[in-house]
A and B are shown apart, each in its own frame.
Chain A
Amino acid sequence: MNCIPCAEYIIVALMIGSAILAVEWRDLLAAAVGMAAVSLFASILFFLLQAPDVAMTEAAIGAALSGAVVIFAIKRTQRFETEEEERPGWWIRW
């Protein structure tokens, strides 16, 4: 069985999972990491779809630079959207 298509399906599933986590996480720092993970998986997917130049741009800009800029913005503002959310998330509380 040729397994390049199933690798693509796994990567798409990982992308959707990271995107949902990036939206759902209340900790904005974790959400920024989730957003960078979406870009990283997208760049692997671009490489598998034979677009290496788009893959390089996506890895450099999407995963590294835009994630860094969002993290700097969080550092200049605040890490949580509201005050009462400043406790560990559900994945720690459980």
Chain B
Amino acid sequence: MVSVLKRSLAIITLLIIGYWLAQGLAGVPFGQDRMLVGKYYLENVKAQTGAVNAVTAIVVNYRGFDTLGEVTVLFIASTGVGALLWRRKKRRTAKTEGSVVLRTGSELLFPFILMFGTYIFIHGHLTPGGGFPGGATIATAFLILYMAFVDYEIPHRLFEPLEGLAGMGYVLVGLIGLAIGSYFLFDWIWQTWHWGAANLGRLFSGGFIPIIYTLIGLKVGTELSGIVDSMLTEEVRE
């Protein structure tokens, strides 16, 4: 009886909140261009950043410091998972091997998924996507290997230094901008040298966006694979 009362109270509260939100949002025009800053970005993005994809240019170039914060949030989340699940000695303890279909399919698909993830983050300034989706795609490739084979583990010796180096590389690119230009994450490749101005819309353009997105892609990929690894390995007692 109490649970029914509680549940109906929750549903009524939800309906009231939903009605209130719908009333508030009904007057907001969806998809219409009302903001001046968006128009400014769309008009100046090619000249100021050299990237064809405006979304990526905003994320990495205009709002680069926010992206550094986003990478830091992911790093803290990964550190938290690692600290909570830390054991002195960890190993895979899975017992059932994946089926024949899963094993063969994962062996077949693994290089292609890796290649697609790399493609997503290298071409971030040209096509939709960027470091975060590319890194997540790479992590799913390792997740498939973890599910298919009972004794597979990621190469820890390669991944953990790579994660740290990629994070430091991002800050380093920003600091070089601070040294050359006037502010942190100044786009020195595009603004001072105009490198890649001749082939706008091809791979070698877009200032430091491909460099930063490659670093972010490596960092996100290694970090998310590390989270999967620490969730799947368990303590072994001698």
Chain B contributes a number of interface residues (CB within 8 A of A) equal to 18
CB within 8 A of B231: which of A51, A60, A72? Answer: A72
In the bound complex, do residue B143 and residue A53 qualify as a contact, i.e. CB atoms below 8 Å apart? no
**Contact of B143 with A60 in the complex, beta carbons under 8 Å:** no
Which residues does chain B contribute within 8 Å of A73, judged by CB atoms? 231
From the candidates A53, A61, A69, A72, name the one contacting B55 in the complex (CB within 8 A).
A53
Shortest C-beta distance, A58 to chain B (Å), equals 9
- The contact of A65 among B55, B120, B224, by CB within 8 Å, is B224
Select B132's contact among A52, A57, A69, A76, beta carbons within 8 Å.
A57
Q: Is B228 engaged at the interface, CB distance under 8 Å to the other chain?
A: yes
Q: Mark A42-67, 1 if CB is under 8 A from B, else 0.
A: 00000000011100110011001100
Assess whether B231 is in contact with A52, with CB atoms less than 8 Å apart: no
CB distance A53 to B128 under 8 Å? Answer: yes
**Chain B residues with CB below 8 A from A69, complex form:** 227-228, 231
A60 interface neighbour in B56, B128, B140, B228, Cβ under 8 Å? B140
Count of A-B contacts with CB under 8 A?
Answer: 42
Contacts of B211 in A (CB 8 A): none
With A and B bound together, what is the CA distance between A69 and B227 in angstroms?
A: 8
A contact patch SS: helix
Query: What is the interface of chain B mostly: helix, strand, loop, or mixed?
Result: helix
The answer to whether the Cβ of A68 comes within 8 Å of any Cβ in the partner chain is yes
Interface residues of B in 132-181 (CB under 8 A from A): 132-133, 136-137, 139-140, 143
A79 to B: closest C-beta gap in Å: 16
State the Cβ distance, B111 to closest chain A Cβ, in Å.
Answer: 17
Binary contact track A29-43/B, C-beta < 8 Å → 1, others 0: 000000000000000
Q: Which of B90-139 contact A (CB under 8 A)?
A: 120, 128-130, 132-133, 136-137, 139
- Residues of chain A having any CB pair with chain B under 8 Å: 51-53, 56-57, 60-61, 64-65, 68-69, 72-73, 76
Q: Closest 4 A-B residue pairs measured CB to CB?
A: A60-B136, A53-B128, A52-B128, A72-B231
Given contacts A60-B133, A69-B228, 12 further A-B contacts (CB under 8 A): A51-B128, A52-B128, A52-B129, A53-B55, A53-B133, A56-B120, A56-B129, A57-B136, A64-B136, A64-B143, A68-B228, A72-B232
